Amino acid sequence: MLLTQLVLSLSISPTPGTNPYFMTSSADTIIAKHPLPILTAAPAPDAPGTSPPNEPIKVIHTKHYGQQSIVIRSDGRIFATAGWDSRIRVYSIKTMKELAVLKWHREGCYAVAFGEILDGGGGGGEQGGDSDGREVLSVEKRREKRVKETHWVAGGAKDGKISLWEIY
């Protein structure tokens, strides 16, 4: 694959697995998923089942130039880009299809990030149990629990503003 523009952003798969990868975005319309080389004894270059080390796993040509930032969510299911067209786009890792376009900024987006999912933590406070022995949470604790378990994506743009979105 021949890139026509420089790589602007790179994100490495968050979950170590059997097939680690990294994603790149660039000033052109290309978003690519590349295999992450694993340092082991090198197989013979002509061995069956080996692909050239610099070949991407999958490439998509978006219709949008300038994907300034790319980030993979911690569960490895989706990734997001921040683009010069003032949009944040969310894609599936598996299919690399566009799932959502987040429009709010008036000028080019330069940064995107996913919020970290926090564990439930220690509880305490106004909890009790019902007659079945299930835990009952106060309204405040339920709201707090929901916020901690929500997937958030934040975007920053040239307009000096930050947007915060609840995403699946």
Number of compact structural domains in the chain: 1
Domain extent at residue 106: 7-38+51-119+152-167
Give the domain CATH number at 96: 2.130.10.10
Residue type, 120: G
CA distance 144 to 131: 24
Domain assignment of residue 131, yes or no: no
Domain assignment of residue 66, yes or no: yes
List pLDDT tens digits, range 88-133: 999 999 999 999 999 999 999 999 999 887 665 444 444 455 555 5
Domain assignment of residue 80, yes or no: yes
pTM as predicted: 0.75
Which residue positions in the chain have pLDDT lower than 70? 1-3, 16-17, 39-54, 118-135
